[in-house]
Structure 1
Amino acid sequence: MVRQHTTTLVRAGSMLSAMAFALTLGASACGSDPPETPSGTSSTSSSSGGPPGDGGGPSGDGGGPAVPDPDPSDAMFDPDHVIEVGITMAPEDWDTLRRQSRDVSDLFGEGCMDGPKESPYSQFPASVTVDGTTLEMSAVRKKGFLGSASMSKPSLKVSFDEYVDGREHAGLEGLTLNNARQDPSLIKTCLAFKVFRDAGLPASRCNFAHVTVNGEDLGIYAHVEPVGKRLLERHFTDASGDLYEGQISDFRDGWTATYEKKTNDDDPDRSELDAVAAALLASDAELDATLGAVLDIETFRRYWATEALVAAWDGYAGNTNNHFVYFDPESGKMFFLPWGPDMSFDAVDPLGAPGRPQSVSARGAVASRLYQTPELRAAYAEAMRDLLETAWKEDALLLEIERMEKLLSPYVRENAEAVRAATDAIRGFVSGRRATITAEIAPTPPAWMSPTPATACMTTVGTMAGTFSTTWGSLAEMDPFAAGTGTFDVAIPADNPQSAEAMGAAAGQDAGQPGLEFAMNGRAQLSILGSFPDGTVRALVFYVDPEVFVDGGEGPYDWQSVIAFAIDVTESEPVITGMFADGKIHFDKASTEPGAPVTGSFEATILGGGFF
């Protein structure tokens, strides 16, 4: 019984290995950062009624076209410069910082849509040296939601003015450093932001930083401009409006409360969000006018099409995640801004059905509602055609990829092969994307068949517990469960406890995904299979951080120590039935030496529903 499901489980393991660092259940956002306050002034923006861009709008002083004020931070975002960032802090503080994590049950359990989630991360004093200039008494904290969470290479937020009021360095109050943990090429974030900017949309500046902490080389990070006053001043005439960050946030019933207000947060009024949600309820005949009164639809279509063009599946349209919305006081309308686009330039959507269209994503309520209306669907296709004509320049993008690759090559020698393979995959994506998109939208755009569930919240469906005994490397064998055994107890639902009649277990690196070891930062995979008296065959897949995968190691399912999923493999196609939340896995023995014993035990609460 066990062995006949081996192929199915291997397929499930390969599927999850691709998902585990992409599928954050819509939670790979860069995390909630304090809004950036103005530093200096900028008089440029675009006029309302067209896509905001880098300057070119009226200055409002009657003196002709606006002339941008020099931005002292431009040098810090020089695309040809890798910033050297050295952080020195108390070792015990660094150890605490990198181990801080979010509670999965709190994020996705009952009540998860009640409001924005508070950050669990603390500020720690540090000395920070930027390109040779040392700023004592700076502050450093971890950042990130789930997908980018890491103990060995955490994303970081550096603040120069946390303890020294008003202090800046090169026009910046701090640094936002994203670890590119889900991107073996290291370039997707900056490349995606470039495409958004080339499309004439407001988007962050981005370059690279080489980061060390207490002398330890953490490698290359994406240095990203936070979405705040400085960025808004560069793109809008009036930067005093309300800015919100969206993480699993949408304009549908019960979802708007999750938007976190980033400016004017002393004003509790959030009715502008509800006005957008209400406008989506208009009839097809009235939708364009009703929604157009509160949203710049033309600019949204261009933003939406850009998300689809670069395959940013974890953004707003693709996953109701990783975005900001700004309510522009001058036009009275809402605009979308991109965030966290590290999951881009890959046609694989781990949350989508096989064969989903490449030319559109429409899980977000605004995108979904517009795409349901035939005339507005045609307008989306026209926006995509215009984007391909005006902003998607393959030759320029390929040159940019080559420039980034050469710039980073001195820093990635240890992982050069994996980086090269991932970068070549992006080249292939860029080269073939126009043909893929054009074929889909001609003569008519395709249907979208992947609606977002009514809620992202999960409920507790039961518990699992057991033991395992296997050897390292068994995952790569033709029959990976021949050497593994253990126990596997399930109570789903709670009043129906069962024990597996047959067991298998395997451990190793997933051989089905080239370069995955680097993408996973060396995570170990443990797979457990059991057949039960009711005829169900269940699989568990654990992804374990190297610090936990040691003799005596133990870790919670917080998506940085351990990630774990429950899968039903009774049928030929595996079905994810839940994710592990409360509980832990313990290793009596664990080593990545070929043939080394891997033994231990696990217990967990299983969350299901929501996205599953």
Structure 2
Amino acid sequence: MVREHTDTLVRAGSMLSAMAFALALGASACGSDPPQTASGTPGASSSGGSSGDGGGPSGDGGGPNVPDPDPSDAMFDPDHVIEIGITMAPEDWDTLRRQSRDVSELFGEGCMDGPKESPYTQFPATVTVDGTTLEMSAVRKKGFLGSASLSKPSLKVSFDEYVDGREHAGLEGMTLNNARQDPSLIKTCLAFKVFRDAGLPASRCNFAHVTVNGDDLGIYAHVEPVGKRLLERHFTDASGDLYEGQLSDFRGGWIATYEKKTNEDDPDRSELDAVASALLASDAELDATLGAVLELGTFRRYWATEALIAAWDGYAASTNNHFVYFDPASGKMSFLPWGPDLSFDPVDALGPPGRPQSVSARGAIASRLYQTPELRVAYAEAMKDLLETAWKEDALLLEIERMEKLLSPYVRDNAEAVRVATDAIRGFVTGRRATITAEITPTPPEWTFPPPAAECMTALGTMTGTFSTTWGSLAQMDPFATGTGTFDVAIPADNPQSAETLGAAVGQEAGQPGSELDMNGRAQLSMIGSFPDGTVRILVFFVDAAVFTDGGEGPYDWQSAYAFAIDYTESEPVITGMLTDGKIHFDTASREPGAPVTGSFEATVLGGGFL
């Protein structure tokens, strides 16, 4: 049976490669980067394009302030690629890029108790921005797991960490996202253009070309932090409470994961509880009760925009990647978007099979509203209005073309991968209106899928083994033709077993647009074995290029490597766990066709919970 289904290795790898990005971002439910300054928070998502600052919240959300011109506008010029050169001690750079989060802490016992402390520390550096040199700046890593990278980490630059009060062009620092999960490089800015065109508050965004100690790291998304300066542009009162939500929701067991980003010294979080309590109202009273604490018109438009651009890793689809702000002027909560680099793709990597494209309703607010018949109709009307007023295909296609041309001089070594990914976005934009309209006409579809699990993962047991295969064997879809090794499992710990039949294959990471064309991308190592109890188990490892070398090794920290264990069924692979607390080691590793790839691995397997 194993030989008959070895194509499962490739299918499972593609599935896991896609879902891992969304799951990785979800890990941030248990931890968040601290604010850089009182006026901003790092890691904010972004808005951009050539559409200007956009409007304030729509619906019943009121209008924005009209502040003095922002001196930082030039730093977010959508037609300018900022040149950033960072010089720092080589040993500091090596330490910075290897700093990582503890995956067991993020996903394991106590993961829902609240945000965990960031492991990232500041390092002194000289930073040059478009020719202006700022000595004694500070640089640190940023992000959670999905964008983690040894070779191209996301970065937070601070101009005032060591020089009190210093700004450059109206900015206290710069947030640089590595676009590691987006081969096109443009999804973040494009997504936030749509949010802005919808009249919703969102950060500004453009692009930066970054070098560190002379090494070219390529194009980054330069995004504006979500903080008081952004709030001042979109709300009449910016003194309220701002919370970051990463795998956070207004249901039992989830509220503690919201991290307060302003007014941190005030421990009062009752405003979050008030929203959760409003969701308990009857259907007849829900609109009025929830509307007293939430800007409902704005939320529906925000919710519909997430679905329209297929932001499957946002609030409504996965309770991830969002901010909520409590405006003292209105006394109500509004949502702000976050981290939409996994957008413009109809495939929902974490969603249930057969899910509709026109709506997501896993978040508690979205679910409660959508399951109320009259309010479901209100959502569909919000989507229709969005299609009529904000979704302009011709303008979006021009914006895609503009970004593509702007970045073309910087992506020559990977031009084909970028082209493939960008063309996929064009196809999405062109066909999205017809897809959505067909679903919501004459009535919106039902949502019958359960909410996400609110349980932390637990240790299931251990896996160890060895592998010997050749580069390129993954594409052959038959690991037994070239691969061998050992595969020992103790799940549970008192039931050790060894694989009776084993195969291994390795090649370029599957499942991501353009990844097979990116020779600096992750390597994918897959192993499959049949065990005495009749189980067929598969391991799929994704390994950073910096680790995939002779003598290379790394932990399962999602930047050196990450891996999943799955059991095979006659229909689809079933994920049983993710690997932690161990390492993968390569005796030999090369990307030359047919070159030997040998090594070993050991790991603890975490299962249940979010999986």
Q: TM-score under structure 2 normalisation? A: 0.94
Residue 21 of structure 2 corresponds to 21
Q: Does 1:96 align with 2:80?
A: no
Q: Does 1:50 align with 2:73?
A: no
Q: Is the 8 A contact 1:139 1:162 kept in 2?
A: yes
Q: Is the 8 A contact 1:35 1:227 kept in 2?
A: no
Within 5 A, what are the aligned runs for 1:79-94? 79-94=78-93
Cα distance 1:171–1:493, how it changes in 2: closer, same or farther (>3 A)?
same
Cα distance 1:321–1:416, how it changes in 2: closer, same or farther (>3 A)?
same
Q: CA deviation at 1:291?
A: 1.0
Q: Is the 8 A contact 2:32 2:116 kept in 1?
A: no
Residue 165 of structure 1 corresponds to 164
What CA distance in whole angstroms lies between the structure 2 residues aligned with 1:72 and 1:270? 34
Residue 60 of structure 1 corresponds to none
Q: Which residue identity lines up with residue 32 of structure 1 in the other structure?
A: D
What CA distance in whole angstroms lies between the structure 2 residues aligned with 1:430 and 1:263? 36
Unaligned runs of 5+ in 2: 41-53
Q: Which residue identity lines up with residue 595 of structure 1 in the other structure?
A: G
Residue 62 of structure 1 corresponds to none
Cα distance 1:510–1:212, how it changes in 2: closer, same or farther (>3 A)?
closer
What CA distance in whole angstroms lies between the structure 1 residues aligned with 2:275 and 2:307? 22
Cα distance 1:223–1:94, how it changes in 2: closer, same or farther (>3 A)?
same
Within 5 A, what are the aligned runs for 1:137-152? 137-152=136-151
What CA distance in whole angstroms lies between the structure 2 residues aligned with 1:153 and 1:128? 17
Q: CA deviation at 1:20?
A: 3.3
Cα distance 1:49–1:502, how it changes in 2: closer, same or farther (>3 A)?
closer
Q: Which residue identity lines up with residue 60 of structure 2 in the other structure?
A: G
**Deviation per CA, 1:79-116, whole angstroms, max 9, x where unpaired?**
11111111111110001001111111000001100011
What CA distance in whole angstroms lies between the structure 1 residues aligned with 2:347 and 2:23? 11
What CA distance in whole angstroms lies between the structure 2 residues aligned with 1:391 and 1:48? 12
What CA distance in whole angstroms lies between the structure 2 residues aligned with 1:430 and 1:98? 36
Residue 273 of structure 1 corresponds to 272
Q: Is the 8 A contact 1:504 1:530 kept in 2?
A: yes
Residue 71 of structure 2 corresponds to 72
Residue 6 of structure 2 corresponds to 6
Cα distance 1:513–1:315, how it changes in 2: closer, same or farther (>3 A)?
closer
Cα distance 1:298–1:49, how it changes in 2: closer, same or farther (>3 A)?
closer
Q: Which residue identity lines up with residue 580 of structure 1 in the other structure?
A: L
What CA distance in whole angstroms lies between the structure 2 residues aligned with 1:516 and 1:280? 42
What CA distance in whole angstroms lies between the structure 2 residues aligned with 1:591 and 1:380? 52
Residue 296 of structure 1 corresponds to 295
Q: CA deviation at 1:517?
A: 3.7
Q: CA deviation at 1:332?
A: 0.5
Secondary structure at 1:12's aligned position in 2?
helix
Q: Is the 8 A contact 1:36 1:227 kept in 2?
A: no
Residue 185 of structure 1 corresponds to 184
What CA distance in whole angstroms lies between the structure 1 residues aligned with 2:253 and 2:158? 34
Q: Which residue identity lines up with residue 135 of structure 2 in the other structure?
A: E
Q: Does 1:255 align with 2:254?
A: yes
Secondary structure at 1:85's aligned position in 2?
strand
Residue 32 of structure 1 corresponds to 33
Within 5 A, what are the aligned runs for 1:390-405? 390-405=389-404
Alpha-carbon RMSD across the aligned residues, in angstroms, is 1.9
Q: Which residue identity lines up with residue 542 of structure 1 in the other structure?
A: F
Q: CA deviation at 1:260?
A: 0.8
Secondary structure at 1:226's aligned position in 2?
coil
What CA distance in whole angstroms lies between the structure 2 residues aligned with 1:126 and 1:535? 56
What CA distance in whole angstroms lies between the structure 1 residues aligned with 2:491 and 2:120? 34
Residue 483 of structure 1 corresponds to 482
Secondary structure at 2:444's aligned position in 1?
coil
Q: CA deviation at 1:513?
A: 5.3
Q: CA deviation at 1:21?
A: 3.3
Percent identity between matched residues is 85
What CA distance in whole angstroms lies between the structure 1 residues aligned with 2:309 and 2:339? 13
Q: Which residue identity lines up with residue 349 of structure 1 in the other structure?
A: D
Aligned residue-pair number = 597
Q: Does 1:472 align with 2:474?
A: no
Q: Is the 8 A contact 1:35 1:229 kept in 2?
A: no
**Deviation per CA, 1:462-496, whole angstroms, max 9, x where unpaired?**
11111111111111114232221111111112222
Q: Larger deviation: 438-447 or 475-484?
A: 475-484
Q: Is the 8 A contact 1:148 1:181 kept in 2?
A: yes
Q: Which residue identity lines up with residue 196 of structure 1 in the other structure?
A: F
What CA distance in whole angstroms lies between the structure 2 residues aligned with 1:104 and 1:520? 27
What CA distance in whole angstroms lies between the structure 1 residues aligned with 2:496 and 2:288? 56
Q: Does 1:241 align with 2:240?
A: yes
Q: CA deviation at 1:293?
A: 1.1
Q: Which residue identity lines up with residue 398 of structure 1 in the other structure?
A: L
What CA distance in whole angstroms lies between the structure 2 residues aligned with 1:512 and 1:239? 42
What CA distance in whole angstroms lies between the structure 1 residues aligned with 2:416 and 2:23? 25
What CA distance in whole angstroms lies between the structure 1 residues aligned with 2:110 and 2:129? 42
Cα distance 1:51–1:197, how it changes in 2: closer, same or farther (>3 A)?
farther
Residue 436 of structure 1 corresponds to 435
What CA distance in whole angstroms lies between the structure 1 residues aligned with 2:256 and 2:597? 45
Q: Is the 8 A contact 1:345 1:426 kept in 2?
A: yes
Q: CA deviation at 1:449?
A: 2.9
Residue 43 of structure 2 corresponds to none
Cα distance 1:399–1:423, how it changes in 2: closer, same or farther (>3 A)?
same
Residue 551 of structure 1 corresponds to 550
Q: Does 1:153 align with 2:152?
A: yes
Q: Is the 8 A contact 1:311 1:347 kept in 2?
A: yes
What CA distance in whole angstroms lies between the structure 1 residues aligned with 2:577 and 2:350? 14
Cα distance 1:279–1:473, how it changes in 2: closer, same or farther (>3 A)?
same
Secondary structure at 2:479's aligned position in 1?
coil
Within 5 A, what are the aligned runs for 1:596-607? 596-607=595-606
Q: CA deviation at 1:453?
A: 3.0
Cα distance 1:46–1:182, how it changes in 2: closer, same or farther (>3 A)?
closer
What CA distance in whole angstroms lies between the structure 2 residues aligned with 1:510 and 1:6? 17
What CA distance in whole angstroms lies between the structure 2 residues aligned with 1:486 and 1:52? 64
Q: Is the 8 A contact 1:48 1:330 kept in 2?
A: no
Q: Larger deviation: 378-387 or 19-28?
A: 19-28
Residue 360 of structure 1 corresponds to 359
Q: Is the 8 A contact 2:510 2:524 kept in 1?
A: no
What CA distance in whole angstroms lies between the structure 2 residues aligned with 1:87 and 1:543? 29
Q: CA deviation at 1:119?
A: 0.8
Cα distance 1:511–1:293, how it changes in 2: closer, same or farther (>3 A)?
closer
Q: Which residue identity lines up with residue 21 of structure 2 in the other structure?
A: F
Secondary structure at 2:183's aligned position in 1?
coil
Q: Larger deviation: 406-415 or 448-457?
A: 448-457
